[in-house]
Amino acid sequence: MKKLVVFDTGLTATEPIMKAFSTGVINSKTGWLVEYQKLDHFLTEGLAKLKAGRDAVAVFGVLRGTGSIIKKAKQLGIDYFYIDHAYFNPGFQKPLWLRITKNDHAIGTICDVPSDRWKSLFRDQNRVQPWRLNSQRGDRILICPPTNAIEWFMDIDGSWSSEIVGKLKQHLPKATWPKLIVRRKPKEPIVDQSGNLLGFKNYDYENSIEEELKRATCVVAYNSMVALTATRMGIPVIVGPISCCRSVAFSIEAFCSGETPPSFEMEPKRRRDLFRWLAYNQWNFEEIHGGIAWRMLLQPSRQL
């Protein structure tokens, strides 16, 4: 019988979620055993206790030690289930939608599914706009770097945004360089070399993200959900390896042809399929507690 270890940081906002997830695995009647573990106690004893005898682990986010659990699971070849804010209607307000992925930070594939969940649960609040031609978009390139916490989690240094800007400048005339807008997460989590949360760094911006998107001709984002919003708005995106938009993203080399790449005129073939598929990869609290989410996660089409 397979065993899942669910780790809880004890954070007020996420503890009920992890308890509901544990209960849901049991309620699903799929034959999995569940061990509910307080993360602080586990980290005190040492990550070496995470043995390959366990078949999978589950965590919420990458802060407060959860990122260390994922890294250790990868080293040991253990599956991990990652829970975080939803693709659509995120936040901790009811009905509390959450995304859950197996062995990934965000779902990166697109599978054919019915449109029922998208239409009945998310479409009205997340309207998909027609694809915008080059002449219908703004002239700025909005760049959203990974947070300090994601840099630690993905083992990358802090040079991503400068490298992106450097690549873009190689392809764009100097007169357009002021239109390269780097925008970090307004409340960015900062971690130490072990991934422990040190605090948050706040950034104040004159314009809202909605205003920036209206002025954008393209969004370059490592993993920010701004890329998903841009995709819904009909704006081309270029993303990193853990973005949910990587199946519909463009390449930065598109700018080799200049500041208005002809390829940006063409809507990605599976753009609308992406929204339907993402709707099948997030669940509300009741679906998680009742075992629906776990049964769907175990379906063969989701195995990575």
Q: In terms of residue numbers, what domain contains 82?
A: 3-107+281-302
Q: pLDDT tens digits for 47-64?
A: 566 665 568 999 999 998
The answer on 285 and 174 residing in a single domain is no
- Whole-model pTM: value is 0.94
SS (H, E, C) the chain: CCEEEEEECCCCCCHHHHHHHHHHHHHCCCCCEEEEEEHHHHHHHCHHHCCCCCCEEEEECCCCCHHHHHHHHHHHCCEEEEEEECCCCCCCCCCCCEEEEECCCCCCCCCCCCCHHHHHHHHHHCCCCCCCCHHHCCCEEEEECCCHHHHHHCCCCCCHHHHHHHHHHHHCCHHHHHHEEECCCCEEEEECCCCCEEEEEECCCCCCHHHHHHCEEEEEECCCCHHHHHHHCCCCEEECCCCCCCCCCCCHHHHHHCCCCHHHHCCCCCHHHHHHHHHCCEECHHHHHHCHHHHHHCCHHHCC
Domain-located, residue 118: no
User: What is residue 302's predicted lDDT score, i.e. its pLDDT?
Assistant: 60
The answer on 270 and 298 residing in a single domain is no
User: What is residue 304's predicted lDDT score, i.e. its pLDDT?
Assistant: 40
- Please identify every stretch of the chain with a pLDDT value under 50, giving residue numbers as ranges: 303-304
The answer on 144 and 28 residing in a single domain is no
The answer on 99 and 83 residing in a single domain is yes
The answer on 228 and 294 residing in a single domain is no
